């Protein structure tokens, strides 16, 4: 059965994931290196991992399997999940796919280089209502696709 893994430390859509998971009676694993009050419920497994770079990512990559869904803004983690046959969605609902993950990784590396050299500054646009709506639609689509694929 499809399960959802949330890379939770900087995830703005935890409540939206819970709504979709409850509708489909799906297990959620909320993984981070700090205790999170929300979301709560019988379908929620909160996993607190030790501090350290990529510890939460490693936990998710180790436990996720074919047919599951990962919610993350971390492009390398998305790639690791895709390699295991899972779906990966960004916080704005943009799906990472086998076809797009290579370009996403290359753009991430380029932007890191440009920030490091001072060519660009960090710019994180605000998270809007439209982003939440787009995410909900994309997650529902991913759930439906995985359910069809795993039955």
Residue 114 in domain = no
The domain containing residue 64 runs over which residues? 4-97+127-150
pLDDT in tens, 7-21: 997 889 999 999 999
Averaged pLDDT score across all residues of the chain = 86
pTM, entire model: 0.84
Query: How long a stretch of residues is the chain?
Result: 151
Residue 22 in domain = yes
Residue 20 in domain = yes
Please report the pLDDT score of residue 39 as a whole number: 80
In CATH, what number is assigned to the domain containing residue 70? 3.40.50
Residue 86 in domain = yes
Residue 48 in domain = yes
Question: At which residue do the structure tokens 């929620």 appear?
Answer: 44
Q: What's the order of all strands across the beta sheet hosting 4-7? A: 44-48, 28-32, 4-7, 69-71, 87-89, 95-96
Structural domains counted in the chain: 1
Residue 106 in domain = no
pLDDT in tens, 85-122: 999 999 888 898 877 666 666 665 566 666 677 777 76
Residue 122 in domain = no
| pLDDT confidence band for 78 (50 / 70 / 90) | very high
């Amino acid at each position: 059965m499809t399960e959802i893994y949330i890379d939770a430390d900087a995830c703005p859509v935890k409540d939206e994931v819970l709504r979709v998971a409850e509708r489909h009676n799906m297990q959620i694993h909320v993984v981070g290196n700090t205790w999170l009050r929300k979301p709560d419920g019988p379908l929620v497994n909160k996993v607190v991992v030790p501090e350290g770079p990529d510890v939460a990512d490693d936990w998710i990559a180790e436990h996720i399997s074919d047919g599951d869904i990962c919610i993350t803004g971390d492009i390398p983690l998305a790639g690791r999940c895709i390699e295991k046959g899972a779906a990966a969605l960004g916080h704005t609902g943009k799906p990472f796919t086998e076809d797009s993950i290579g370009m996403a990784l290359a753009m991430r590396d380029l932007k890191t280089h440009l920030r490091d050299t001072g060519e660009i500054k960090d710019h994180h646009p605000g998270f809007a209502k439209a982003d939440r709506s787009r995410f909900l639609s994309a997650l529902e689509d991913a759930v439906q696709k995985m359910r069809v694929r795993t039955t």
